Structure 1
Amino acid sequence: MRGAFDILATSGWIVLLVAGASALACFLILRCLLSTGLAWRIATDVPNHRSLHATPIPRVGGWGIVPVSLAALLWHASQMWLIAAAAAALAMVSQIDDRRDLPARVRFAAHFAAVVALIVFRPADAPWWLLAGIGFLMLWMINLYNFMDGADGLAGGMALFGFAAYGAAALAGGSPSPALAVVCAAIAGAALGFLFLNFHPAKLFLGDAGSITLGFLAGALGYWGWRGDVWPLWFPAIVFSTFIADASITLLRRLCRGEKFWQAHREHYYQRMVRSGVGHRRTAIYWYATMLAAVILAFWALSRPAWEQWLIFAVWYGVLGCCGLIIDARWRTFQAAHTK
């Protein structure tokens, strides 16, 4: 028992060192791209009627986060090489999309291929229908992360809180996985390095190369942890619940109206908060508080019986739904005041 404790303590220090080094590496890479002007040549986000910003901003955050994440996957967890390969492929396709606006069918085909490859070649011991459902949820995670990347500090903050939670659970859970903990710590650290340049007023954006890859990693590593009995199936869904709830409700609304859900818009809850006067900075802080609450709740639920865990899961999503109703009410009041 003493030896196991020492191993976990040593792993904890390694995880912290990796997170710090990743934050520094990501920050330096992105700062170099900005200072040399390369960031503007790689990809620039030009404002349109759906944007929440008013001036062109480089969208190269993925150029800092992705290399650091892939290096951690290959160096510290070589058994996850398939995740690294799929993430690299998605990053490349998404970078092309950042510059040339690829057709939706091409993007979705790449997402589908990455998810299918992971589940087919690294299947969990579960019924086929459950794996198919998980694959669908992973596809949704990829796309919803991209949909939610639209306000300063938001997507980077979700990556920081989400992957930090993964790392802590992988280290201290019932079936510890130090390698998974190190990888998640590296991604969380890279997200922190990115946030130094993305928090309002943002100097750069994440871009599809960053958001699509982070969405895939959130789903893939969540699946990997469940597959290895590191955490229950519901754990990733609570950790990333703030993004999942917002994007899912917005999608259902758009589908009910017969709209093309993959097209950019300004109907997400975070967009309504920014547009109604809360602003980028306070919106991010409110969301960070909700993300932290979700992480704390997820860790508390791990200690409860299985039926209570799923009850907590359902109640938490109900709470998020109530938060959405409050934002909707504020938005209606704002619209009424500005249409008189």
Structure 2
Amino acid sequence: MLEWLVVHFCIGVAGTWLARRYALMRSLIDQPGERRSHSVATPRGGGIAIVISLLVAAVALGVRQPEQAPIMLAFGVGLVMVAGIGWVDDHRPLSPWIRLGVHVLASGLFALAAGDLYDSVWIAAAAFVATLVLTNVWNFMDGINGLAASQALLAAVGLAGMAGGAFGLLGLALAAACLGFLPFNFPKARIFMGDVGSGAIGFALGALCAVAAARLGEKFALVLLPVSVFVVDASLTLLRRVLRGERWWTPHTQHAYQAWARAAGHGRVTLCYAAVLLVVIIAGWGGLPRDAFFIAGTVGAWYMCCAFFWLVLQKKFRAQLPD
């Protein structure tokens, strides 16, 4: 186990260092602007290291456990599709609809494999929704130093404990690679994850959610806890933009975490989000022995609390939000 974690941590570190050199050489630089939360020009695309780590893990697990080979193959191909379109977008901006189309295809491929493995239409549907939604949620929420990577690290650990088996190890590989990436992105960002990393991480977490839900059975609601903070902020912000008639698919800085970061700084917001999620994950593990009705009610109550705090942050830092 330790060797597994060390290998993927090292891939994260070395891959991010190489990605930064490549980004500087190719002038892949995010410039500050009114639709961004940073104030210094910073290279992007460091998330490719996390993608490579996940692909290495998927291949290794498919070889070690032949019964898992088909779903690991589907996961790997879907991951390459999501990361690939993100990599292209990092070099030359693409239409959001082209990106979404690729995301749909990647999610559909993984859903077919998951449904076949577990012989369940419901698991297939859950896999499709989870991978498609979280791919875009992590892309939306990758906006300040360390936030997307730290949330992914913790969520991956939480879901790994719920999924177990091959996908448990895949989750730990994701966590270790994120840990290797973080020193380059937090507290000071020397490179950003880019679309290549944020989308791929969301896809991987969606796959973990689906497999963990299949394993937990009637207690499946627990898988919603490790991704709760991001899902609520992204969903409510998106809903508000849609209701306002805004071009919701365009970049913006209207998320609660972005408004808070302008007032309190990136580091404090990232650490607060991480502390909250860590407590939630530990509580989720503690809830495993409870009955399904109690779990569903508790998860629902927690999501309502997240929505309340989203409203509080939006109201408190309204002056920091763009019109």
- TM-superposed deviation, 1:326: 2.2
The correspondence of residues 224-239 of structure 1 with structure 2, limited to 5 A, is 224-229=211-216, 232-239=219-226
What pairs up with 1:200-215 in 2 under 5 angstroms?
Answer: 200-215=187-202
Q: Is the 8 A contact 2:238 2:248 kept in 1?
A: yes
Gaps in structure 2 of 5+ consecutive residues: 64-68
Note if 1:72 corresponds to 2:57. yes
> 1:9 is matched with which residue?
none
Whichever residue aligns with residue 88 of structure 2, its letter is: I
Per the TM alignment, residue 293 of structure 1 is displaced from its structure 2 partner at its CA by 1.7
Provide closer, same or farther for how the CA distance between residues 329 and 229 of structure 1 changes in structure 2, counting only shifts above 3 A: closer
Residue equivalent to 1:155 = 148
Instruction: Say whether the 8 Å CA contact 2:127–2:207 is kept in structure 1.
Output: no
Paired residue for 2:313, among 327, 330, 333? 327
- Letter of the structure 2 residue corresponding to residue 23 of structure 1: F
Aligned length: 313
Equivalent residues in 2 for 1:254-293 (5 A)?
A: 254-275=241-262, 277-293=263-279
The whole-number CA distance in structure 2 between the counterparts of 1:231 and 1:181 is 19
Q: Which residue does the alignment assign to 1:104?
A: 96
Q: What do the CA deviations read for 1:238-263 (whole angstroms, capped 9, x no partner)?
A: 11101001001101101111122211
- Conservation of the 8 A alpha-carbon contact between 2:162 and 2:223: no
The Cα shift of 1:219 comes to 0.6
Q: Is the 8 A contact 2:219 2:295 kept in 1?
A: no
Counterpart-to-counterpart distance in 2, 1:315 and 1:278: 27
SS of the counterpart of 1:234? helix
Match of 1:38 in 2: 22
Identify the match of residue 23 of structure 1 among 9, 21, 28: 9
User: How far has the Cα of 1:230 moved from its partner?
Assistant: 7.7
The one of 292, 300, 313 aligned to 2:299: 313
Structural mapping, 1:180-219, within 5 Å: 180-219=167-206
Q: Cα distance 1:111–1:68, how it changes in 2: closer, same or farther (>3 A)?
A: same
CA distance in 1, matches of 2:257, 2:218: 29
Asked if structure 1 preserves the Cα contact closer than 8 Å seen for 2:9 and 2:178, the reply is: yes
Structure 2 Cα separation of the partners of residues 17 and 317 of structure 1 = 37
The alpha-carbon distance between structure 1 residues 219 and 232, as it changes in their structure 2 partners (threshold 3 A), is: farther
Aligned 8 A contact 1:169 1:230 in 2: no
Structure-2 change in CA distance of 1:205 and 1:231 (3 Å) = farther
Quick one: which amino acid aligns to residue 9 of structure 2? A
SS at match of 2:37: coil
- Once residues 198 and 33 of structure 2 are traced to their aligned partners in structure 1, the CA distance between those partners, rounded to angstroms, is 19
> Which residue identity is paired with 1:138?
T
Letter in 2 for 1:246: D
Which residue of structure 2 lines up, in the alignment, with residue 139 of structure 1? Answer: 132
| Residues 1:299 and 2:285 are matched in the alignment | yes
Farther-moved stretch of structure 1 (136-145 vs 61-70): 136-145
* Displacement of 1:132: 3.8
Supply the distance in 2 between the matched residues of 1:192 and 1:133 (Cα, whole angstroms). 28
Contact 2:19–2:49 (CA<8 Å) still a contact in 1?
Answer: no
By how many angstroms is 1:164 displaced? 1.1
Q: Is the 8 A contact 1:46 1:56 kept in 2?
A: yes
Write the distance in 2 (CA, Å) between the matches of 1:127 and 1:203: 44
Larger Rg: 1
Distance 1:134 1:81, change over 3 A: closer
| Structure 1 residues not aligned, in runs of 5+ | 1-13, 172-176
Is the contact between residue 212 and residue 223 of structure 2 (CA under 8 Å) also seen in structure 1? Answer: no
Q: Distance in 1 between matches of 2:153 and 2:285?
A: 16
How much has 1:109 moved relative to structure 2?
0.6
SS of the aligned residue for 1:259 comes to: coil
Shift of 1:134: 5.2
Structure 1 vs Structure 2 CA RMSD: 2.2
TM-score, normalised via structure 2 length: 0.90
1:165 and 1:295 in contact (8 A); partners too: yes
Q: CA deviation at 1:335?
A: 5.4
The 1:138/1:109 distance shift into structure 2, 3 A limit, reads same
